[in-house]
Homo-oligomer: A and B are copies of this chain.
Amino acid sequence: MRRIGVIGNSVCSEEVIQIAEEVGREIARRKGVLVCGGLTGVMEAVARGAKAAGGLTVGIIPGNRASDANSYIDIPIVTGLGYARNVLVVQSSEVVIAIRGKYGTLSEIACALQFGIPVVGLQTWEVSPDIIQASNPAEAVIKAFDLLPH
């Protein structure tokens, strides 16, 4: 099973929700396991997309209760770690797709680059040439699978 991480905001526009859902669907179509933060916004939309295409979803949540996970998460990982759980979302992914996002997403992108985990960006922070930019969801997922370690 290949693990594709998706990161982004817990609050986002309808446009971003559409993008995240499409990313989730494409990951599931390619038999990837979705790894995300398990909450709302991008995390919920990408999980909903993955489930719509029959995928498997893992949500690494910051709080103490599995019920904090959105309803599209198959396997909640209950950390109780608060913000530090972001590091686990990144480290548990073989490649990361970043969708828009603010400082939390920037912190995760930097963390991935620090670990040498490839990052594909969709309308997100452009702070480094190491971020592989994509112009739409399908392209982002294709690039992510191409970047998977062998």
Contact = CB atoms under 8 A, between A and B. Distances in A.
A103 B76 CA distance: 25
Interface residues on A, range: 35 or more
B103 A78 contact: no
Interface in A99-128: 102-104, 106-108, 110-111, 113-115, 125, 127-128
A91 interface: yes
Contact of A91 (B64, B75, B110, B115): B64
Copies in the complex: 4
Interface of A: 1, 3, 33, 58, 60, 64, 66, 74-84, 86-88, 91-92, 94, 102-104, 106-108, 110-111, 113-115, 125, 127-128
